[in-house]
Amino acid sequence: MKKILLPVTALIILVASAFTVLSGPDYKIAAGYAVKFSAAGANGIFKDLKGKVVFDEQHLNTSKFDVTIDVSSINTGNGLKNTHAKGDKWLDAKKYPTITFTSTEITKSGSGYVAKGELTMHGVKKPFSIPFTFVKAGSGGTFAGKFDVNRSDFGVGTPGGKVDDIIKMEVNVPVN
């Protein structure tokens, strides 16, 4: 019985390991990150970014971003603009306290990558793609990307007016 049990056990372990999904490095967002936005009539930063970052350049199929920005951390450099941006006519931080991005796929693109997934802002969830680069440094590295968000697509503010509909985003996120 022992002679049969050992090969059967080995076979079960071998088959089970064939279905095990390898996961890339699980990074922590480090201090010094920047989430900047700019448009005619509004620019500034978000000061609170949290999330889970799993990224492996050799195994992109196991990579995933799940990040959250605290809307109330917006800083335009002007207290009155900050209050207005957090108010119900714009981001409505009380009703929609976070902006989230959850990737569903990360692919190589030219000299960088593209994270495809869902962006949720102001209660609206939409498919979204974020182009980015990753520069490895020791056991960590830095993610950087530039992309546009059409605030009207998410029901933020009134289309047109003093603030551009297209908001330019620039992110720089060191991880370790």
Rounded to 5°, the CA angle 44-50-54 comes to: 120
**Model confidence pLDDT, tens digit, residues 26-58:** 999 999 999 999 999 899 999 999 999 999 999
CATH-assigned architecture of domain 25-175: Beta Barrel (2.40)
Is the predicted pLDDT of residue 169 greater than 70, yes or no? yes
Is the predicted pLDDT of residue 89 greater than 70, yes or no? yes
**Residue 3's pLDDT band (boundaries 50, 70, 90)?**
low
Write the single-letter amino acid at 18. A
Element (H, E) at 86: helix 79-86
DSSP character at residue 87: S
The residue behind tokens 């020791």 is 138
Q: State both tokens at 45.
A: 């930063």
Q: Please report, to the nearest 10 degrees, the dihedral formed by the alpha carbons of residues 126, 129, 132, 134 taken in order.
A: 80
